[in-house]
Structure 1
Amino acid sequence: MSLEHGTNHWGTNPNDPIQTAVAAIETAIGDLLAMDPIYWRTSQKKHLLTQLEKLRAQQDALMLRVLAVSGDIAEETGDKDASAWIRAELLLDKGTARAQIKLATAVSKQDLVAAGLAAGEISQDKARVITKTLDNIAANPTATSEDLILAEKLLVDYATRLTAKELQIVGRRILREIDPARFEDAEAKALLAEEERARQKTALRVWDNHDGTIGFNGILPISIGMRFKTQVEAWAQPRKQRLVDKGVSLPPWERLMGQGFTRLIETIDPDALPRHGGDATVVNVVIFLEELRKELGTATLGFDETNGHTITAAEARTMACNATIIPWVLGSDGQVLDAGRSSRFFQPIQRKALRLQQKCCQAEGCDMPPEWCDAHHLTAWALGGRTDLKDGVLLCPHHHRLAHAPGYVHERLPDGTIRFTRRP
């Protein structure tokens, strides 16, 4: 029976069962949106959230079912699939649309997955995990068609009790669960192949945002990635705990992790780094003498402005305390006046001595433990300060930056602590 029979002059058919059902859904959602959930009972909120999640899965099931037979839409648009129409009409990226169509095709071949979606028992994310796992099993020469059927049944059952990420972990060993004797070696080989693929995927992109920040993203093998995550968290967690202990509201965890990563980079032992460009791995900072003398001077991070980046003189002085840098001080006509001094870092034995003398950050009122502090030159090393115990003081990263910030002055009190005062 044609659904277009009885189309009115608006191009719709009042008797179209599809349109009638969609209109009922829209009306029901409209009724719910007209209510204010702030007045709802807790039990009502919990029940609605549960039902909405189930309805979301059923909506996805319906969309995937339609996409699986959307070849006529592709014919109409002249494209190889319906993604061009989806991009134009629904304003979804073509890649996203094609991923949906691919999933729709995969789900249409798996009756149990399709039934789980239609019943609202498994989500689209879980369906994607299951179909991808089943594709991998189908490509496994050791697996049989019976294994594939049993794997689908087990995965759909697991999907009702696990999150998508947990389901993905289970999927990697589902064949071993089916037949341990037959698939144990196959699983080990698959794991080795996965690790090799991870090494091949390893990548890092770094770019200049031209707003004072550097952006980066990358992919690491799981063994390295977890070490990276753990090390960054090791630097971020003490800051979080200190703020909690002081009753200070916490910044976003992402910011704390960013600060932790910063500290990880700042504290890398330069002696452990490889040689780079024929020399030790260092950063060069070029600054003119008149800029060095200014409170708001600037310097170049790198050898020249064309290939380097402009930073403040205060930041350069901060780096000179605890980063691997060589400062080059130039005269007005560009001649080199100072090419740095070799003893620019506090040696490990000196840091141990400072830790014995100074039990925490020496800023007045700060109790950051010494292991999280920098060794700071009271007379800035970049301005001629000496790297010795008399001129050394432990400061937490926050107060270390204040020590070099032009907006603050600091003085050493009789008890040895450092008092910071905002410059008038």
Structure 2
Amino acid sequence: MFDIPPCNRTDVRVQWGSPLPRGCSEVRRLVPVDPDPRCVRGGVMSSTQGSARQVREAVDAAMVVDRAGWSGAARSAEVVELLAAQERLSALVMAVVGEWDRDAAWALDGSVSPVAWLAHRTPVTRQDAASLVRSARHVARHEATAKALDAGDVTAAHVQVAARATKHRDDLYTEHETVLLDAARSLDPSAFRSAMAHWRRCADAVDDHDKAVKEITGSYLDIVATFEGVGHLDGRLDPVSTATLTRVVDRMEPPDGFDGITAPRTRAQRRADALVRLASGERPPQINLDITVDIDTLAGRPSLDLTSGCCEIAGSGPLSPAVAAMLACDAAIGRVLMRGDSEVLDVGRQTRMLNRAQRRALGIRDGGCVEPGCTAPAEWCDAHHITHWTAHGPTDLSNLELRCRRHHILQHQRDLHAALRARRQE
């Protein structure tokens, strides 16, 4: 626990006596500029309660705003404002819950834990309550993380990822807090989750070998049929088997096209259909798995530099370095060694046309569609020339990127419109 100086700050962005706002953007203005947990200890809990009450009233007022004539741009702006307000509220909630938990205020009415109190007295599930308490305690224990969250440098989602990944490794997180926060500032929560998974695997390197053996030998699959004949599957697969099965079933049953009549199947439904097709004897598609691992990690010298060290199945997720070492001699597994600067080393000779080696390297580098917000995996993507081939652009990795079919077409439309605008200006 770190020392917290007295705080007498009570100001917020608007005066409490101002009229209720009429738009969602006003909700954000009612959130304290800096939801500092020190204010609670400074004797201004009433101001925090007043802030919460005002925000709730503002939300109620925003709910009845007539948005019938709003343009798409106006609606988009309101969505951004609302999510920004939600993020600030999440930071405030973590700060207040951390202080509330520290003082054990949840025990005053006989509750056995803060999670039980929250699940009983607030509209959150027990699972969400546990996540909130875990994150709040993480913020309360780490001053730099608390400051980064207060400043908006990292989000509540980043904190949740860090709190979950640092279980039983809190002291090590304190030691590496600066580099981990730097990673969080430059990565979205999903990418930060992968970075924290790599950090955790490095932290667990001491007993990694025993875990690797369990990962590879601990697979099982149970199939139980009900009285009605409905089957329920339960199982566990090692990381490589998981990636292999996932790639096969997803490639056998790609997303349905929309015909306006039949509702498209969910991903889970498509996978179930593909599994039945496999069991019926249908030949599975040919797939390759690429395990990317930097040389130091493969040699047993894992780095805690989240920007350089990597050990993962491309497109699937992190892999234990010990498992990678066990698999490194298997000819059925594709191997691409990476230097610390992420330069691809052994993908074969460069050719004028896009070859298989370049395609593999491109999939490992980009991981999927490069369009912001798109999650299409590499196998669903086209290789796009950034400078078009017709404009003398080379077929080289530096001039290639992965785009799903939709965003590939969209990018060509963007380039066409840009060229037309340039011609008009000439």
- Normalising by structure 1, we get a TM-score of 0.46
Q: Which has the greater radius of gyration?
A: 1
Higher relative contact order (CA 8 A, sep 6+): 2
